[in-house]
Amino acid sequence: MNDLDAPVRALFDGIAAPAAKGPPDLSSIGAELLKLAGDLDYLLPWVERLGAEPGAKGLPLHAPAVGPRLVLVHRPEGGMGPIHDHGTWVAIASISGLETHRRYRWVAKGMDTRIELVEALELGQTQSATLLPPDDIHAHGHVTGRGDPAYILILTGDDQTRFTRNEWDLATGRHRILHPGDPGRWLVTEPMPD
């Protein structure tokens, strides 16, 4: 990690011990991520870079082949991501704007299986959300009329596309399995593949 900028190196140094615990200490990981999210002197040039790239979905700040990774993400006005899971722990923190974060659970009653909303948060600056599988079913992004779309940091315990994961479409009730390598849909408005 010698090639990392000092603030990012400090984040990964700070999460090393909490991430190594079984299960990971998500409160400590979220607190470390919030420290970086509050470092606007460091992050604003990254935010400007992402904003200057038309159609950009995210900008990796640290993305090794294996292990914890950090991405800067910005969705457009009204751009909510689909309901999904990660297969690894995740922490999300807002740098600016307001990020809607909804957590769901899988409910099975006889032949009826569905997901239901458990928690809805609006993450502004100094707020984070953390999730640990199997309780990591969630959706996040921007809801029209609810503040400015956020620039957020997403920290995951590993590259989520290495795992078999799930994606749901609440409007149709459809569920699909995301096989390794499939990043899933970026926005809920994108059609779900067959």
List the domain boundaries for the chain.
Answer: 6-178
Q: What is the pLDDT along the chain (194 residues), one digit of tens a residue?
A: 445 699 999 999 999 999 999 999 999 999 999 999 999 999 999 999 888 776 668 899 999 989 999 999 998 889 999 999 999 999 999 999 999 999 999 887 776 778 899 999 999 988 999 999 999 999 999 999 999 999 999 999 999 999 999 999 988 888 899 999 999 998 888 888 87
Radius of gyration of the chain (CA): 16
- HEC profile of 142-172: CCCCCCCECEEEEEECCCHHHCCEEEEECCC
115 strand-pairing partners: 106
- HEC profile of the chain: CCCCCHHHHHHHHHHHHHHHCCCCCHHHHHHHHHHHHCCHHHHHHHHHHHHCCCCCCEEEEECCCCCCEEEEEECCCCCECCEECCCCCEEEEEEECEEEEEEEEEEEECCEEEEEEEEEEEECECCEEEEECCECEEEEECCCCCCCECEEEEEECCCHHHCCEEEEECCCCEEEEECCCCCCCCCCCCCCCC
pLDDT score at 1: 43
Q: How far apart are CA 194 and CA 191, in angstroms?
A: 9
pLDDT score at 54: 62
- Its CATH class, for the domain covering 6-178, is mainly beta
pLDDT score at 2: 45
